Amino acid sequence: PALAEQFIAEQVAAVRAQVGDKKVLLALSGGVDSSVVAALLIKAVGKQLTCVHVNHGLLRKGEPEQVVEVFRNQMDANLVYVDAVDRFLDKLAGVADPETKRKIIGAEFIRVFEEEARKLEGIEFLAQGTIYPDILESGPVKAHHNVGGLPEDLQFALVEPVKFLFKDEVRVVGKALGLPDSMVFRQPFPGPGLGVRCLGAITRDRLEAVRESDAILREEFAKHGLEGKVWQYFTVVPDFKSTGVRDNARTFDWPVILRAVNTVDAMTATVEDVPFPLLQEITARITSEVKGVNRVLFDLTPKPSGTIEWE
Ligand code: XMP
């Protein structure tokens, strides 16, 4: 904590020296890295920072609301909240190929961000939540987060205050900056979000089923002490239905697949040994609370042969 305070003091001074009285822009996803950079910059340059939060409709339940609550209401930041849900879902309509879905989401994100950047006058700096592993292995995994696809006339000088930190160090700094645990200790979440967990061509009904079942899974894991213990856990809704029965009538609805894995580097992963009674409790809640779902399945596959995500 003392080291965190020292790091914050140093970076606040460094950012002030770099930025002077100029304006800074930040794409704030609500993930750990961009949130910590936002908190640090709010401390350093206050309202000279403008945060842009793009809600692409593929975020987890409560996430966009939390970004607004923490940064606008509690930290009094300049926050531009962009409701781009319809835009993204329209672009994705009918697109089933996973890599095409990713490309559309990434490209549309840059387009929305670019439009917002053009509306703002006199921005000279772009802040980014680059962390040390991003520099070490700038692979495809984080491509979506790096707003590197901006056109020539929108190239800003970069402000990257956490670029020499590892993830666990970023979390310590975030906590010292007063960010809530639910933001700082959150599990990894892919840039394309729930879009790769609503398999095949995304539809609004199945997307809501992913979001609602994911919220139930997270709630139950938290209640049973598994939050912060299991590396990544989420739900997936495939694009096929099966027959079921409810109130003496046949149903034809979607299944929900539960996934809970542990890993060190995401290259290989093992499946969490989730207690059977808890799986039964989660199943009961999902089948009774989530619209359009009549079955729950648990994915027993390690990586390899599966990947962590389903797409
Ligand atoms: P896989 O499915 O490849 O996932 O075993 C390994 C880790 O990477 C995350 N992941 C992504 N993260 N953009 C991201 O930012 C993506 O397109 C993406 N695909 C997978 C996944 O959640 C897991 O933690």
**ipTM score:** 0.99
Query: Does the annotation place 34 within a ligand binding site?
Result: yes
Question: Which CATH topology does 197-298 take?
Answer: GMP Synthetase; Chain A, domain 3 (3.30.300)
Distance CA(128)–CA(24), nearest Å, equals: 10
What ranges do the domains of the chain cover? Answer: 2-184, 197-298
pLDDT at residue 153 in the model: 86
pTM score over 0.90: yes
Find how far residue 91's CA is from the centre of its chain. Answer: 20
Domains 2-184 and 197-298 share a fold: no
Query: Does the annotation place 32 within a ligand binding site?
Result: yes
pLDDT at residue 257 in the model: 99
Report CA(308)–ligand 1 centroid distance (Å). Answer: 7
- Coil, strand or helix at 298: strand
Query: Does the annotation place 242 within a ligand binding site?
Result: no
CB 186 near ligand 1, within 6 Å: no
Percent of the chain with pLDDT over 70: 96
Report CA(144)–ligand 1 centroid distance (Å). Answer: 11
Query: For the chain, what is the total number of helices (H) and then of strands (E)?
Result: 10, 10
**Residue 82 — φ and ψ, nearest 5°?**
-110, 115
pLDDT at residue 150 in the model: 87
User: Which of 309, 310, 311 most suits a substitution to test ligand 1, by most atoms within 8 Å of the C-beta?
Assistant: 309
User: Which of 99, 102, 141, 235 most suits a substitution to test ligand 1, by most atoms within 8 Å of the C-beta?
Assistant: 141
CATH architecture of the domain formed by 2-184? 3-Layer(aba) Sandwich (3.40)
CB 266 near ligand 1, within 6 Å: yes
pLDDT at residue 151 in the model: 87
Residues 6+ apart with CB under 8 A from 28: 34, 35, 38, 51, 52, 53, 67, 71, 79
pLDDT at residue 140 in the model: 52
Average confidence (pLDDT) per 10 residues, the chain, 311 residues: 94 98 98 98 98 98 98 98 98 98 98 96 96 81 57 92 97 98 96 98 98 98 97 98 97 99 97 98 98 98 98 98
Rounded (5°) CA angle 208-85-105 = 95
Among protein residues, the one whose CA lies closest to atom 6 of ligand 1: 266
CB 190 near ligand 1, within 6 Å: yes
pLDDT at residue 147 in the model: 59
Residues 6+ apart with CB under 8 A from 52: 25, 26, 27, 28, 79, 80, 82, 113, 116, 117
